[in-house]
Amino acid sequence: MAIPGVAIRGQRSLLRQIREALAGGGPAQARLDMVVRIIARSMVAEVCSLYMRRAAGEMELFATEGLDPAAVHVTRMKQGEGLVGEIMKLGRPLNLADAPEHPAFSYRPETGEDPYHAFLGVPLLRGGRAIGVLVVQNRTARVYTDDEVEDLQIVAMVLAEMVAGGELLVGGDLKGVEIAPHRPERLKGAKFGDGLAYGVAVLHERPVAPSQLLSDDVPAEETRLSTAIATLQAQIDQMLEGNAGLVDTSFEVLDTYRMFAHDRGWNRSLVDAVRNGLTAEAAVERVRSEHRARLGQARDPYLRERLHDLEDLNDRLLRHLSGEGHTARELPENAILIARNLGPADLLEYDRTKLRGLLLEEGSAASHAAIVARALDIPCVGRLLGLRDRVSEGDAVIVDAESGEAYLRPRPDVVKSIQARIEVRAQRQAEFAKLRDTPAFTRDGAKITLLMNAGLDVDLDIMGETGAEGIGLFRTEFQFMVAEEMPRFNAQTALYGRVMDAAGGLPVTFRTLDLGGDKVLPYMEAEREDNPALGWRAIRMGLDRPALLRLQLRALVAAANGRELRIMFPLVATVDEFRAARALVDIEVAWAERRGRKAPSRLAVGAMIEAPSLIWHLDALLPLTDFVSIGTNDLMQYMFAADRGNPRMADRYDPLCPPALRALEAIQRACAETGTPVSVCGEMAGRPLEAFALVALGFDRLSMPPAGIGPVKQMVLSCDREAARRGVSALLKGGAGSVRHEIETLARKISLAV
Ligand code: PEP
Ligand code: MG
């Protein structure tokens, strides 16, 4: 067949020819041979060879024009061997005037490649992984132009997508090529939400389908791309203008976006790719894969961060191209969602009834996605490095959020064991459900009130199922965190009203906005701080910006509409702060009354004890409060000077140690002496062993994530409080560090279900 020797520039027809050759009938090998011939002619190269990665990790010559055909499927290179191995390793092109001079060059006599000097090889990238290498060679030493490199990369991308799309490698020799990882893998990450799940991978960010790779109308595609880029740039500029004068982290992020969005190199690569016949979406993917391959290996955290920015930018651009946000996706039963990270509302867009688990490449336990996953009781593991490049849509996956691991394409024995564990969990859940209406009394008759922590509408649905006796902590800032813009008075009032309705007369304690620190809102002004956890956050912000806090208090009073209202303030560090905050509540109640609105039937105002300073000023604080609640997450962070969000600190200090337990005991005693109701609402209250220690210290109100209520209740029912008290108080005296082990032994001794 005569193939016109077109120059590679403006090579839409080349891509078409490749596609036709690949899509045509006949044996796969013949089609591949045709493809390399077409490329060689178009690029005026004497050699064009395609190497693919075998499952064992070796690179194998799959087709060649110009080298000895007898070497096809014979020449193989180990990982990292030769120039081809080098390209695989680096994930980027190698453009050499004189290949044999290169230190990695490995001579293969069977190929007959002796006379060729000029060498250009590019990886076939899928996601950030190289699945093959495409090489052109010329006799005469020369460096290929940037345009030629770009063109070969585009060809390689189309080939990669087609190979991966199954259009090519079916049967025979071509089996066993590693297009996508297929071996079982186990990735270690971090626990974001408890539980176990086994299901089918659904990719949140789906690669462009091979059928959408090539455009039919280049000028129209170019217009589509430039419109999308212009919209994206305008949107980012606007976001920046809206925040003019800000010097904070979100500003920096936006500013970096802006730099990238206007980056001529990025824009040009996209336009070039479209001019060469790709669709705008495919162009985005092509440029993205290259960045991933290049920056993904970077050790420098700064560069890796930049990759994240670029990823975000690419996602945004794809959204602009699709002209809309996500449309609701049809999920398989047992879907496990795989994503780099999720925005606040993303998870809620999926069908809850089919979503079994969530795996994230990044994120932190305090991230929005993790918070929502916990609220929905979806097992979630995060910080799984390399996740997205290792899993394909439809792969079987296990989320083990008990150990913080993910199993990709697990072996049957692993599946069996996980299914057995899922079964055991389900049985335990069923037992907890049976206890739903049983009041939580210890064996020696002490009543323990078990409350639930909440923060989103979705939490309300499960309130009834848990048997919680109320909401001990409603984190009002969640509504702000999942919103695109500041929730107004009506939206706030509506949510608080719904929460009280859902509680159906059971008490709800609203915690006023706990923003700042790591909870920065994109639409809210915040200054960059060196130590955000110690900075301008929570009640400090509320008191300095009383308009915001008063609006919230007004919404709370309006929502109560004559019902009981319980409000508490986060991170109070001095008695004066509490006094000032409480005064604002009084002002708002008076304001409502002046307008003839109903004042709360009963008003209870409390402080969260999260700053250690208060422990030594309880005598002054408690008479001013109606109740207090201990936020152990923050209290421990400040007591041990250990960032609660830093995974390196996560297991360093155990709250089950004498200093922590003594501090808690001191608070409990002071409250008992003054008759001030006290609860514990940090995460530790939801873990049976920790809850056991709290009950032993005399606490009788515990507020926890919904999933904790069943296990904690089971513990309470089997607990002899007096024996626990004696045992734990003995442990408070000595000890060097954690007394977890001792408390465990004690719990076992008094036959406790923990
Ligand atoms: C705490 O600090 O323990 C607490 C309950 O508040 P948050 O986790 O929302 O900071
Ligand atoms: Mg807190």
For the cut 50, the answer to whether the pLDDT of residue 6 exceeds it is: no
How does strand 196-203 pair with strand 396-400? antiparallel
Three-class DSSP category at 241:
helix
Per-residue pLDDT of 561-573, as tens digits, reads 999 999 999 999 9
**pLDDT (average), residues 313-332:** 73
CA distance to 272, 659, 662, 689, per residue, from 734 (Å): 71, 10, 11, 20
CATH H superfamily, domain 11-176: GAF domain (3.30.450.40)
Across 20-24, 112-116, 418-422, 684-688, least confident range: 20-24
**C-alpha–C-alpha distance, residues 317 and 412, integer Å:** 40
Are 551 and 513 within 8 A, CB to CB? Answer: no
- Ligand closest in space to the Cα of 633: 1
pLDDT of residue 479: 86
**pLDDT (average), residues 485-496:** 93
For the cut 70, the answer to whether the pLDDT of residue 168 exceeds it is: no
Amino acid at 335: A
- Using the 8-state DSSP alphabet, how is residue 602 labeled? S
The residue whose CB lies within 8 Å of the most ligand 1 atoms, and thus the one to mutate among 367, 371, 473, 477, is 473
Backbone angles phi, psi at 176, to 5 degrees: 80, 5
Which pLDDT band, with edges at 50, 70 and 90, does 4 fall under?
A: very low
Catalytic residues: 368, 681
**pLDDT (average), residues 567-588:** 98
**C-alpha–C-alpha distance, residues 501 and 518, integer Å:** 31
* Atom 4, ligand 1: residue with shortest CA distance: 631
CATH 3.30.450.40 in the chain, residue ranges: 11-176
Across 151-165, 195-209, 382-396, 708-722, least confident range: 151-165
**pLDDT (average), residues 597-623:** 97
User: What contacts 686, CB < 8 A, 6 or more positions away?
Assistant: 453, 702, 704, 705, 707, 708, 709, 712
Percent of residues, the chain, with pLDDT higher than 70: 88
CATH 1.10.274.10 in the chain, residue ranges: 218-322
Of residues 457 and 409, more confidence is placed in 409
Which pLDDT band, with edges at 50, 70 and 90, does 463 fall under?
A: confident
Does the beta carbon of 566 lie inside 6 Å of ligand 1? Answer: no
Are 383 and 363 within 8 A, CB to CB? Answer: yes
User: What contacts 559, CB < 8 A, 6 or more positions away?
Assistant: 492, 493, 494, 495, 496, 497, 499, 500
Beta strands in 20-151 (DSSP E): 47-53, 59-65, 76-77, 94-96, 118-126, 129-138
* Atom 6, ligand 1: residue with shortest CA distance: 631
Which pLDDT band, with edges at 50, 70 and 90, does 249 fall under?
A: very low
CA distance to 157, 454, 468, 490, 499, per residue, from 556 (Å): 56, 16, 22, 11, 11
pLDDT of residue 544: 93
Q: Which fold has domain 185-206+329-426?
A: Glucose Oxidase; domain 1 (3.50.30)
For the cut 60, the answer to whether the pLDDT of residue 229 exceeds it is: yes
For the cut 80, the answer to whether the pLDDT of residue 528 exceeds it is: no
For the cut 80, the answer to whether the pLDDT of residue 291 exceeds it is: no
Does the beta carbon of 455 lie inside 6 Å of ligand 1? Answer: no
pLDDT of residue 511: 98
Pick the atom of ligand 1 nearest to 629's CA: 5
Are 195 and 402 within 8 A, CB to CB? Answer: yes
CB-based burial label for 386 (10 Å; 0-12, 13-18, 19+): middle
**C-alpha–C-alpha distance, residues 144 and 121, integer Å:** 10
**C-alpha–C-alpha distance, residues 623 and 501, integer Å:** 31
For the cut 70, the answer to whether the pLDDT of residue 435 exceeds it is: yes
Average pLDDT of the chain to the nearest whole number = 86
For the cut 50, the answer to whether the pLDDT of residue 10 exceeds it is: no
* Atom 9, ligand 1: residue with shortest CA distance: 475
Per-residue pLDDT of 657-697, as tens digits, reads 999 999 999 999 999 999 999 999 998 999 999 999 999 99
468, 563, 565: which is closest to 511 by C-alpha? 565
pLDDT of residue 7: 39
User: What contacts 92, CB < 8 A, 6 or more positions away?
Assistant: 122, 123, 290, 293, 294
Three-class DSSP category at 76:
strand
162, 163, 91: which is closest to 121 by C-alpha? 91
Three-class DSSP category at 383:
coil
Q: Rounded to the nearest whole angstrom, what is the distance from the C-alpha of residue 67 to the centroid of ligand 1?
A: 67
Find the angle CA(215)-CA(217)-CA(221) to the nearest 5 degrees. 70
**C-alpha–C-alpha distance, residues 638 and 617, integer Å:** 16
The residue whose CB lies within 8 Å of the most ligand 1 atoms, and thus the one to mutate among 569, 608, 639, is 608
Taking domain 218-322, whether its CATH number is 1.10.274.10 is answered by: yes
pLDDT of residue 343: 65
CB-based burial label for 714 (10 Å; 0-12, 13-18, 19+): buried
How does strand 129-138 pair with strand 47-53? antiparallel
**pLDDT (average), residues 703-730:** 94
pLDDT of residue 148: 87
Of residues 268 and 696, more confidence is placed in 696
Pick the atom of ligand 1 nearest to 473's CA: 5
For the cut 90, the answer to whether the pLDDT of residue 625 exceeds it is: yes
Q: How many helices (H) and strands (E) does the chain have?
A: 25, 22
Does the beta carbon of 681 lie inside 6 Å of ligand 1? Answer: yes
Does the beta carbon of 633 lie inside 6 Å of ligand 1? Answer: yes
Backbone angles phi, psi at 65, to 5 degrees: -120, 120
pLDDT of residue 518: 63
Q: Rounded to the nearest whole angstrom, what is the distance from the C-alpha of residue 631 to the centroid of ligand 1?
A: 5
**C-alpha–C-alpha distance, residues 136 and 434, integer Å:** 69
Three-class DSSP category at 731:
helix
